[in-house]
Structure 1
């Protein structure tokens, strides 16, 4: 995808002042590649933490 600066925050610390650098759309803001990867890793960590907190289930049929 395109290297965009349409969403603030993230590890790159994009601020509102940075938005004009590569802002391509005025609706439906997009994440850039680094922000997308950061979000994917954060989501994976949240899901893993949630799974780790679930009580262990006994194997079916035992």
Structure 2
């Protein structure tokens, strides 16, 4: 059975909108885990300082 253009559009919309949710969830979890681990915060800060230098302020 072939899919209609409307069916294809619906599938594309589903993938596009679902990816936003999963990306946001992953980003929130990463920030939460960084907040729990000060040693990782310090490491990331030092890494950013080495890359961005004075522009980090």
Name the TM tier (shorter chain): 0.3 to 0.5
Higher relative contact order (CA 8 A, sep 6+): 1
TM-score computed with the length of structure 2 as normaliser: 0.45
**Larger Rg: 1 or 2?**
2
TM-score computed with the length of structure 1 as normaliser: 0.42
